[in-house]
Amino acid sequence: MEEYLLRKLGIDYGSKYIGLAVSDRSNTVAHSKEVIRRTDLQKDLLTIKDYIDDYEIDEIVVGMPTSLNGNKGPRAQKTQEFINFLNNNLEIKITAWDERFTTLIADQSMIDADVSRRKRKKLVDKIAAALILQNYLDYLNKKDGEANE
């Protein structure tokens, strides 16, 4: 019988939108869910709390924008402020995860699938959230696999 696990919530935090993704119960596969238009932090927090309750989330993984050389610029500072806000308002583990190339990969995969530019703009953040979360899940599962060897 499969062990009952709580899920992970992946977040791609942008200046206008927040992409959301949720893991399956085995924490193996990330599923993109939705993009919410940012309004104010309190309203965004309510949406995130709904996800935590509805999907039984035990950890939030927020994509951290990092340059190729590892530096963190102004976008990373805004993301860190968002993470700090979440930490101050939620009693749940919050993990910052390197999101290098996730938006680029999400956008390119939609171009390859011949998705129109208009549709890509609406989808890219939730696909990026799924990529961020999937990278994190792969890391956890690899780490767990190595521990069991």
11 bridge partner residues: 20, 62
User: Look-up: residue for tokens 């530096």?
Assistant: 71
Q: Of 16, 17, 65, whose CA–CA distance to 33 is shortest?
A: 17
Residue 135: Cβ-neighbour burial (10 angstroms; 0-12, 13-18, 19+):
buried
Q: Which domains does the chain possess?
A: 7-147 (3.30.420.140)
Distance (Å, whole) CA 145 – CA 48? 30
- Per-residue pLDDT reduced to its tens digit, 76-126: 899 999 999 999 999 999 999 988 766 666 667 767 777 677 776 667 788
- Per-residue pLDDT reduced to its tens digit, 29-67: 999 999 999 989 999 999 999 999 999 999 999 999 876
Position 70 pLDDT exceeds 90 = no
Please tell me the predicted confidence (pLDDT) of residue 147.
61
The torsion defined by the Cα of 72, 101, 21 and 113, in degrees rounded to 10, comes to 160
Please tell me the predicted confidence (pLDDT) of residue 33.
96
The better pLDDT of the pair 101, 135 is held by 135
Q: Where are the beta strands (DSSP E) in 24-114?
A: 30-37, 57-64, 93-98
Position 1 pLDDT exceeds 50 = no
Distance (Å, whole) CA 58 – CA 46? 16
- Sign for the pseudo-dihedral over CA of 142, 146, 147, 149: positive
